């Protein structure tokens, strides 16, 4: 039983800003910070992890290397102890999930990600399905999300050549709290002035379609991948079925001043958003099926994990809820507990197992895990 704190890898892309450092406590020796990889076992940006122990309930403020005492890379940790991923996590040949915070001071390129079939056959790696949760936005900020109508390949190619490609896309004004599920093959782009959380398939494979003619620090334009993009993009009109279906689930009360909503589910991740109002408290149950990632989006709280115990007489929401963290089981064992203070911009990892966890405080939290039953 332990709580792991994740120390993110950061990316300094030309479109990034300073909001992740100033507003979310992300530590980086270089700016701008475009992305913080808050849970990653990807070779392009491996997170670091430190654990609580029986005698250590706090974490170092900053970590820079897996060579520091008590620190290891996340990929090394799960390789040495695959059981922490749970039975669902171990069923993948790779760690399935990657979680980011993104600060788009400037617009990102318009891009598309291939699905697994194409990516594995042509690139030797997996494709990418993802989702976004908008955290902040400047006035009139927008993103591009799919096509306005169905276009032929020739029409798309002509628009790219004439530098008119954005006119084919759906331009969506955004507000904090908005959620977008982006299946592989969907053309998309984050516009300027947006901070968001991204939960995605564990892949860093992107085909740029359009980049506004921008140049990097050396004066070079960035590579485009038009031919590959045309092969994998969904050219039909975007459907918001997934978004509307998920919105229909709505918030539900899950504890004292605590509310939760499911906002995405696919084979690579299931995501719920937990809201704690003043003095809110939520209790969940881990199982042997999946790990749990907790990303603090707003506020602060006390995160507590307790060892194996009899939870047959738990709260009513523990008895009735269907998520993997709230299934009631009969477990008898010693009851030990670890508590840590958590705040905005921090990320935590709870290994799979038979333990109970809780959050007490006020804020908004992103819960990511794997779940076999996607039909609920």
208 is catalytic: yes
Rounded Cα distance between 350 and 3, Å, is 6
For residues 126 and 233, the answer to whether their CB atoms sit within 8 Å is no
Q: What is the chain's Cα-based Rg? A: 21
Would you call 93 exposed, middle or buried from its count of C-beta atoms within 10 A (0-12, 13-18, 19+)? Answer: exposed
- Given 22, 137, 157, 208, which residue is catalytic? 208
Residues annotated as catalytic are: 208
């Amino acid at each position: 039983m332990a709580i792991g704190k994740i120390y993110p890898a950061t990316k300094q892309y030309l479109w990034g800003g300073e909001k992740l450092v100033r507003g979310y406590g992300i530590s980086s020796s270089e700016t701008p910070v475009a992305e913080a990889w808050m849970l990653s076992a990807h070779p392009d940006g491996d997170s670091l992890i430190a654990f609580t122990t029986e005698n250590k309930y706090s974490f170092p403020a900053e970590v820079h290397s897996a060579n520091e005492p008590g620190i290891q890379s996340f990929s090394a940790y799960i390789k040495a102890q695959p059981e922490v991923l749970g039975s669902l996590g171990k069923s993948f040949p790779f760690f399935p999930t990657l979680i980011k915070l993104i600060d788009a001071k400037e617009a990102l390129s318009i891009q598309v990600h291939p699905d697994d079939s194409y990516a594995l056959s042509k690139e030797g790696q997996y494709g990418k399905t993802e989702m976004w949760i908008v955290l902040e936005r400047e006035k009139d900020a927008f993103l591009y999300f799919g096509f306005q109508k169905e276009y032929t390949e020739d029409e798309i190619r002509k628009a790219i050549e004439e530098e008119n490609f954005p006119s084919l896309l759906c331009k969506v004004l955004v507000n904090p709290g908005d959620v977008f599920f982006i299946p592989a093959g969907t053309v998309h782009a984050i516009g300027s002035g947006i901070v968001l959380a991204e939960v995605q398939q564990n892949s860093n494979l992107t085909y740029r379609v359009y980049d506004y003619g921008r140049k990097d620090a050396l004066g070079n334009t960035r590579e485009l991948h038009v031919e590959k993009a045309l092969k994998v993009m969904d050219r039909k009109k975007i459907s918001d079925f997934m978004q509307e279906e998920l919105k229909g689930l709505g918030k539900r009360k899950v504890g004292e001043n605590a509310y939760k909503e499911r906002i995405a589910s696919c084979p690579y991740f299931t995501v719920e958003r937990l809201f704690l109002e003043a003095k809110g408290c939520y209790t969940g149950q881990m199982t042997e099926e999946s790990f749990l990632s907790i990303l603090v989006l707003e506020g602060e709280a006390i995160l507590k994990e307790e060892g194996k115990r009899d939870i047959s007489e738990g709260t009513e929401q523990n008895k009735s809820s269907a998520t993997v963290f709230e299934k009631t089981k009969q477990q008898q064992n010693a009851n030990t507990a670890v508590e840590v203070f958590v705040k905005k911009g921090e990320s935590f990892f709870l290994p799979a197992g038979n333990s109970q966890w809780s959050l007490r405080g006020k804020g908004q939290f992103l819960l990511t895990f794997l779940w076999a039953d996607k039909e609920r």
